[in-house]
Structure 1
């Protein structure tokens, strides 16, 4: 598979009531096809967030967006544009980071959580110098992170995020 240049094409999810921000790396092939975050059916993100929020797993983009906003969760990615092979975070090169200014201007300096090690590493390299807010690295919800069961993910994410969930 050849590397391709991808451009982030969907907007961040946030409003003035957002109390925490979750950042992924860059939309996967399936997410780009679906034009929405965490579009791969095996990615556990939506199931996990629903558990943490005490809700049923949302299905539509609208249900997902409404659940996040209802619970004060902002969602975006670190990478605006990059070169990538398929959906492989380890292949990411030529990074152009997103601009978090519109989110942070509206929400203030809210806690930032990185969905996986690559998201945290890229955030630290490209965005931390601009924001001054350290990101908490959480285990990835990706199906590639099969070593982490849903219950282990829930435990780790809940411990980190519980003070901010509404």
Structure 2
């Protein structure tokens, strides 16, 4: 059975960079917001990079993203997936990323992990004509990367 992406992208006309995941985890789909699994380090990485207090609520997170001109979405609109496992993804339908780009000032795209990068390259690059920069996944499944190691790789976001 196909799972549907149920989270609205976060962006506005002032967004300059776009961070794309592959598809929301079970916890994120339940909460209807990005990177909601407590072990995912996405929000800790951004809090550290931008040196902000802990972002507690979904509203805090949305306000932070918009204030820093960051758009956030996923490549996939719907797919078949077992739990939250990127490796089980099949029968992919992609989100309309070009529409988001057209409605903003996005000039840089970062993908959160290899799966998002592969999907973006396969389905979106030809449409958007914007190369993505693949960053190491903030997922707890990427245990080889400590928070410190993630921060070193993700620092490039600050240069956009």
* Bin of the TM-score, shorter chain as denominator length: over 0.9
In structure 2, what is the equivalent of residue 152 of structure 1? 149
Tell me, in whole angstroms, the C-alpha distance in 2 between the residues paired with 1:109 and 1:98: 16
Q: Normalising by structure 1, what TM-score?
A: 0.93
In structure 1, what is the equivalent of residue 64 of structure 2? 67
Choose which of 146, 159, 163 in structure 1 pairs with 2:159.
163
State yes or no: 1:50 paired with 2:47: yes
What is the SS of the residue equivalent to 1:123?
A: helix
Aligned residues: 160
- Shift in Å at residue 16 of structure 1? 1.3
Tell me, in whole angstroms, the C-alpha distance in 1 between the residues paired with 2:120 and 2:148: 26
- Shift in Å at residue 77 of structure 1? 0.1
State yes or no: 1:41 paired with 2:38: yes
8 Å contact kept, 1:109–1:133: no
Q: Which runs of 5+ in 2 are unaligned?
A: none
8 Å contact kept, 1:44–1:141: yes
Q: Which runs of 5+ in 1 are unaligned?
A: none
- Shift in Å at residue 106 of structure 1? 2.0
What is the SS of the residue equivalent to 2:62?
A: helix
Tell me, in whole angstroms, the C-alpha distance in 2 between the residues paired with 1:17 and 1:8: 24
Q: Normalising by structure 2, what TM-score?
A: 0.97
Tell me, in whole angstroms, the C-alpha distance in 2 between the residues paired with 1:42 and 1:97: 26
